[in-house]
Amino acid sequence: MTMETDAAAGGSGRDWSALPLDILLISMSCMEVPDVVHSGAVCTSWRSAYGAFRALRLPTPRQPPCLLYYAARTSPAATLYSPSTNATFRVPLPEDRGGGFLASAHGWLFATDAAANPYLINPLTGARAALPPITTLERVKSRSTDADGGVVYDVDFNRISAAPPATQRVTARRARDWMYRQVSISGRPGGAACVVLLLHMPHQELSFARPGDARWTSLSGGLSQLDRGLYSSTVYSDRDGLFYALRATGSVHKLDLSGPSPAARPYTWTLRSFASKCTGYLVPMPCGTLLLVTRVWGRYGEPRSGICRSGTYCGEVHKCVVTEGVQVEKMDMERRRFERLAPGDHALFLGSSSAQYLPVEFLPPSLSKRNCAYLADDVGYDTFLSPISRHDAGVWDFESGSMRKYDELWPLHPCPDSSRSPIWITPSLH
Ligand SMILES: *[C@@H]1O[C@H](CO)[C@@H](O)[C@H](O)[C@H]1NC(C)=O
């Protein structure tokens, strides 16, 4: 009996709850961020260590990207999967019932509430930052309630500024899936540098705001009719503090949103226009140079329209597609030249919500195969009014020119609903 007690006492070396705080903090700083959060739930002493870890703003090692997705159409919680540790975490997103999140940056998500109003949330800590409501987007004219008590918005679809409004009703539910197309964020919420650039419908225009602002500011104002809208990709470059936006017509705009009167300065470099079966993305390299990545889509199967209720706009079409090619080019902005590039020892993380180009030497073995791109689902456009959800997420191998789906590689079980499909996120505690 004594022996057993001794053995149990010997096990006090393994009584992890009794570890001193500094040891716990050191262990946490060697973990990946989701494991740190998880360990905070183990016992009281680990919970207080987790509190101290956050309060001291201790750094975690280079956190590799994780996939975040919904496992079910109506699940209130999202699933976070870390390919490097093969661990799955449940991430509660309290307000989110039946909707999705669109994008991630700096470990934060751009998400929407039930009335389609956007906000930022750190899914691991639950911290939130407010963004202006949907009704402050220039083309959203009013909010009302339909016969069933649901929220609907009157959206002006007119593309010609002098013409009278061409208003259509869009339900809040539809607005959540359809209105927001791409988001780039210049810094963490709470920091002075946090500007959110939004690419939104109905005409793929740009608006921006800082957390806490009352309104979205449209960037279409100073532009001619021809230069307005039709944006397909935006990116923030922390090298020069500027946003870059690529239009479907093939031109690049440079945006300085830091000053008191920010503007889209159409530094215009017309590259080439993208055929409807191609999507162009801008991706910053670690050195600050921009890459132009072109994803070529092939189609198999007939388009399937979303279900419309009479009198409301439904827009979106789902198409079965496959990725047929991915091409990477380095953009020499000064000499206005392109140069084809093989990613080699860099991994490309790409989707409508993420664009990262990371050296494989800092990535875990499961993400460090050479010459690969980690692709997420995307949204394209057949005409400027018809977004198309493109389901095709997997690892593209540049050498073989082929793709392996994520669910063949990892234990993922995403819901087939496009607005709930996996996106890449690099978790952060701050
Ligand atoms: C990852 O976890 C799943 C179970 O969730 C398991 O079936 C699979 O074998 C694991 N993969 C590796 C490489 O450990």
What CATH number is associated with residue 22?
A: 1.20.1280
Is 29 contained in some domain? yes
Residue 401 has pLDDT above 90, yes or no: yes
Q: Which protein residue's CA is at the shortest distance from atom 10 of ligand 1?
A: 86
At 302 the pLDDT is 59
Is 288 contained in some domain? no
The whole-chain average pLDDT of the chain stands at 82
When divided into structural domains, the chain yields a total of 1
Indicate which atom in ligand 1 lies nearest the CA of residue 86.
1
Q: 121 is written with which tokens? A: 């949330």
Is 381 contained in some domain? no
Question: Measuring CA to CA, which residue among 124, 84, 120, 127 is closest to residue 105?
Answer: 120
Distance 411 CA to ligand 1 centre (A): 7
Mean pLDDT of 217-236: 83
Is 271 contained in some domain? no
Indicate which atom in ligand 1 lies nearest the CA of residue 366.
13
At 308 the pLDDT is 42
Is 312 contained in some domain? no
Antiparallel, parallel or unpaired: β 242-247 and 231-237:
antiparallel
Residue range 74-123, pLDDT digits in tens:
777 889 999 999 999 988 876 655 556 788 899 999 998 889 999 999 99
What angle is formed at CA 304 by the lines to CA 300 and CA 309, rounded to 5 degrees?
A: 170
Q: Which protein residue's CA is at the shortest distance from atom 7 of ligand 1?
A: 411
Of residues 430 and 379, the one with the higher pLDDT is 430
Q: Which protein residue's CA is at the shortest distance from atom 8 of ligand 1?
A: 411
At 314 the pLDDT is 52
Of residues 1 and 430, the one with the higher pLDDT is 430
Residue 237 has pLDDT above 50, yes or no: yes
Residue 425 has pLDDT above 80, yes or no: yes
Is 105 contained in some domain? no
User: In the β-sheet with 167-171, what is the strand arrangement from edge to edge?
Assistant: 140-145, 151-156, 167-171
Sign of the CA dihedral running 351, 354, 357, 359? negative
Residue 346 has pLDDT above 70, yes or no: yes
Q: Which of 86, 407, 413 to mutate to test the pocket of ligand 1 (most atoms within 8 A of CB)?
A: 86
Q: Which protein residue's CA is at the shortest distance from atom 6 of ligand 1?
A: 411
User: In the β-sheet with 423-425, what is the strand arrangement from edge to edge?
Assistant: 87-92, 77-82, 66-69, 423-425
Largest CA distance in the chain: 90
Q: What is the band of 306 on the pLDDT scale with cuts at 50, 70, 90?
A: very low
At 243 the pLDDT is 92
Contact residues of ligand 1, CB 6 A cut-off:
86, 411
Q: Picking from 193-202, 230-239, 263-272, which range would have the lowest pLDDT averaged per residue?
A: 263-272
Q: Picking from 66-70, 163-167, 231-235, 341-345, which range would have the lowest pLDDT averaged per residue?
A: 163-167
Residue 350 has pLDDT above 80, yes or no: yes
Q: What is the band of 336 on the pLDDT scale with cuts at 50, 70, 90?
A: confident
Distance 407 CA to ligand 1 centre (A): 12
Mean pLDDT of 18-43: 86
Residue 264 has pLDDT above 50, yes or no: yes
Q: Which protein residue's CA is at the shortest distance from atom 3 of ligand 1?
A: 411
Distance 410 CA to ligand 1 centre (A): 7
Q: 313 is written with which tokens? A: 């706009």
Is 24 contained in some domain? yes
At 122 the pLDDT is 92
Distance separating alpha carbons of residues 417 and 99, to the nearest angstrom: 10
Give the domain range for residue 8: 1-61
Is 33 contained in some domain? yes
